[in-house]
Amino acid sequence: MGNAYLAAHIPYSTEAALSGLEYDFAVPKNPPNFDITCPCCGAVLKVDVESQAVISHTAPVKPRTFNDIEAAARAMKEQDSRRDSIFRQSVEAQKHASDLLEKKFQEAIKKAKESPDTGKPIRDWDLE
């Protein structure tokens, strides 16, 4: 019964299929340009429909980082002191780096003396 119902409603030609469709005359000949907001940066792009190209770009308004000059000056001083502290730590680490490398080298020499030399290492294709 289901197949008979479907067969009765299938048109035999494309003309018969399209005869029930009407053209919408309300569609404008020259559609207006439209705006798109970029999801990444928030910029507004105006797109021309005919040429399919961006015709205008408006950058997003960025909020101010600091409300006044005094806050900006305080932030700069804090950055300066933090940068100096990191630099001092780096200098101290470099002063002790040679001592650390010397200790590592002595430990490697000690390990090399403790383990006997087994000679030439055996490779996989040597076993075939």
Q: Is the pLDDT of residue 20 over 90?
A: no
Give dist(CA 45, CA 58) in Å, integer: 6
Across 87-103, average pLDDT: 89
Domain ranges of the chain: 27-62, 69-113
DSSP reduced 3-state for 32: coil
Eight-class DSSP state of 124: G
What tens digit of pLDDT does each residue of 29-83 get?
677 888 999 888 889 999 988 888 888 888 988 888 888 888 889 999 999 999 9
Work out the pLDDT band at 25, boundaries 50, 70, 90: low
